[in-house]
Amino acid sequence: MEHFGFTDGISQPIIEGLGKTEPAADVIKAGEFLLGHPNEYDLYTSRPTLAPSADPRNHLASAVDQPSRKDLGRNGSYLVFRQLEQDVQGFRKYLEQKTKAADGTGQPAEALAFAARMLGRWQGGASLVRSPDKDDPALAAFNSFSYQKEDPYGLRCPFGSHVRRSNPRDSLDPNPGSAESVAIGKRHRLLRRGREYGAPLPGDGGPAGAEHDGRGLHFLCLNGNIARQFEFIQSTWINNPVFNGPLQRRRSGARFSLSVRGGISPSRLSRCGSGLSAYRGSYPYEEARISSCRASARFGISATLPD
């Protein structure tokens, strides 16, 4: 459990060929994580190869896609490491301020629910798609759910939540809810682990004075193509202000997303603009053509709220 109080590492891809085959949406070709194997495009990611003369003792296998070259990169991968500092006190203060009752008293249960909607899961791990109103220990490790089929309007798990933006599952264009949509998402997955650093706050079991120390999460992930996987997820999905937000409003040149659980019916959502398709933006990039996910990404706004 990381310092904000959430169970981490629940949703992980399954590498094809290692035995486990369910859920199918999480079974990813080995080439997405290991070089020298076919990826989700049935192509081989660029990797270091050598002329045969550089391997006089013939230790290396020939590259399957380049038979005249030796495959130095086979079974290798690329590791991304990030140190993410967490302001636990600031986070809790924000939650408390935003969920106070009309008379100014705190509402701890509401604060926890607010935090869960920011993440998309309850602190114990249960997805809001299956358990929108309270944490459910029985669903702590359950990960076989979909967004388009079970929560297309984001009324359970908000569109702006972290888990929905970082892994949109079956909600991507051109055909949300289809196998094609799931296939597009498979091209942008990470094999990741999080490791917390720093002592907990004193109230969380840490030593006296720990409130003055730094704490956070060490993020590590393996991927076969950093631009198409880690950088794409970070810049095109997570940090993109117009991705996964069907209700958009301009204010003094600014743009933000809004997701609501009640008060707006699906029929009204469909009348707000051009529907709920453009916001899901993703593109099936070809390995040979991708040079920068930042330059190649395509995304759009789906709807606007009337003034």
**Closest C-alpha to 291, from 233, 225, 243:** 225
Radius of gyration of the chain (CA): 22
pLDDT in tens, 63-81: 999 999 999 999 999 999 9
Other CB atoms within 10 Å distance of the CB of residue 90 = 9
Active-site option among 8, 65, 135, 136: 8
Given this model, what pLDDT does residue 248 score?
Answer: 38
46, 63, 203 from 51: Cα distances, Å: 15, 11, 60
Number of residues in the chain: 307
Q: How far apart are CA 111 and CA 95, in angstroms?
A: 5
Half-sphere exposure of 212 (CA within 13 A, CB side): 2
263: pLDDT confidence band, cut at 50, 70 and 90? very low
Q: Residues near 301 by Cβ (< 8 Å), separated by ≥ 6?
A: 242, 248, 255, 273, 278, 279
Amino acid letter for position 49:
T
279: pLDDT confidence band, cut at 50, 70 and 90? very low
pLDDT in tens, 100-152: 999 999 999 999 999 999 999 999 999 999 999 999 999 999 999 999 999 99
Contact between 282 and 243 (Cβ < 8 Å): no
Cα of 95 vs its chain's centroid, Å: 22
- Longest Cα separation, the chain: 79
- Report, as an integer, the average pLDDT of 262-291: 30
Cα of 79 vs its chain's centroid, Å: 17
Q: How far apart are CA 9 and CA 143, in angstroms?
A: 11
Q: How far apart are CA 177 and CA 163, in angstroms?
A: 17
pLDDT in tens, 153-186: 999 999 999 999 999 999 998 899 999 999 999 9
* Token pair recorded at residue 10: 């629940």
Given this model, what pLDDT does residue 20 score?
Answer: 84
Q: How far apart are CA 45 and CA 24, in angstroms?
A: 23
Q: Which of 53-57, 98-102, 237-241, 295-299 has the lowest mean pLDDT?
A: 295-299
Query: Is 8 in the active site?
Result: yes
- Report, as an integer, the average pLDDT of 197-213: 93
What are the beta bridge partners of residue 276? none
Q: How far apart are CA 184 and CA 177, in angstroms?
A: 12
Other CB atoms within 10 Å distance of the CB of residue 101 = 9
